[in-house]
């Protein structure tokens, strides 16, 4: 190997080591703040699925779609309450930590539970619920929303109300948002 090739390789190794150090730092940050990482995962997924634009951190909503509709996105892993066989999704602070979120639709994203794959749309990577803001108060408990991953066994009134907002197909999701009447400042569609 010629000396100029060694110099090029050494420089390349130095750059890769620097990039690796930065990526490790970023990974460690997200490991220490899993809720933030989860949120970004959901927001990025919804922006890509809808063709929407991500807003900034701490903005009153997460994604704006072409119709102008404002989306708040919450992502949930599958949770096992009290180590039972029942699994559920839990979405926290759906109105924001200080009840300061302003949005037209709440998009709840949940990881698929492989035991109930037949209950979820096959073409979608996750389970989605698209909830108009006007319905959020009817399905939340305190600041949170939860539902079992086995949708066939849902019986609680708030869970039944949420299950009616299950997104059944990717195109239905994007078509609904494209044609959505965005509520005006007074809360009426306009």
Q: Work out how many domains the chain is built from and give that number.
A: 2
Residues 6+ apart with CB under 8 A from 134: 183, 187
* 35 close to 28: Cβ distance less than 8 angstroms: no
So what's the pLDDT on residue 173?
Answer: 64
So what's the pLDDT on residue 101?
Answer: 93
Query: Where is average pLDDT lowest: 66-70, 74-78, 83-87, 176-180?
Result: 176-180
**Does residue 185 sit within a domain?**
no
CA dist 52 and 31 (Å) reads 27
**pLDDT per position as a tens digit, 109-149:** 999 999 999 999 988 889 999 999 999 999 999 999 999 99
User: Which CATH number covers residue 81?
Assistant: 3.40.1350
| One domain, residues 59 and 12 | no
Q: Facing residues of 131 across strands? A: 106
**Does residue 187 sit within a domain?**
no
So what's the pLDDT on residue 175?
Answer: 64
Full residue range of the structural domain in which residue 123 is found = 34-179
So what's the pLDDT on residue 108?
Answer: 96
So what's the pLDDT on residue 184?
Answer: 44
CA dist 111 and 83 (Å) reads 18
| One domain, residues 118 and 46 | yes
| One domain, residues 51 and 16 | no
| One domain, residues 23 and 103 | no
pLDDT at 158 over 90: yes
| One domain, residues 79 and 136 | yes
pLDDT at 43 over 60: yes
**Does residue 69 sit within a domain?**
yes
* 126 close to 110: Cβ distance less than 8 angstroms: yes
Which runs of E-coded beta strand occur in 41-104?
Answer: 53-54, 63-64, 70-76, 88-91
Q: Facing residues of 147 across strands? A: 89
| One domain, residues 21 and 63 | no
Return phi, psi of residue 79, to 5°. Answer: -115, 150
| One domain, residues 112 and 61 | yes
**Does residue 127 sit within a domain?**
yes
| One domain, residues 123 and 137 | yes
**pLDDT per position as a tens digit, 53-82:** 999 878 999 999 988 999 999 999 999 888
Mean pLDDT, residues 18-36:
59
| One domain, residues 166 and 110 | yes
| One domain, residues 170 and 90 | yes
| One domain, residues 95 and 27 | no
| One domain, residues 43 and 7 | no
């Amino acid at each position: 190997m010629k000396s100029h090739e060694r110099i090029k390789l050494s420089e390349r190794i130095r750059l890769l080591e620097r990039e690796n150090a930065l990526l490790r730092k970023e990974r460690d940050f997200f490991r220490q703040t899993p809720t933030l990482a989860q949120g970004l995962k959901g927001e990025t997924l919804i922006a890509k699925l809808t063709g929407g634009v991500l807003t900034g951190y701490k903005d009153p909503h997460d994604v704006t779609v072409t119709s102008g509709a404002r989306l708040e996105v919450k992502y949930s892993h599958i949770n096992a309450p009290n180590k039972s066989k029942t699994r559920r999704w839990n979405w926290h602070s759906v109105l924001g930590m200080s009840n300061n979120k302003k949005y037209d639709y709440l998009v709840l994203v949940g990881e698929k539970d492989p035991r109930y794959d037949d209950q979820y749309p096959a073409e979608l990577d996750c389970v989605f619920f698209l909830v108009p803001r006007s319905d959020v108060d009817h399905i939340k408990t305190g600041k949170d929303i939860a539902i079992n991953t086995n949708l066939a066994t849902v019986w609680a009134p708030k869970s039944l109300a949420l299950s009616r907002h299950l997104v059944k197909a990717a195109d239905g999701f994007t078509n609904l948002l494209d044609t959505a009447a965005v509520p005006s400042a007074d809360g009426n569609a306009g």
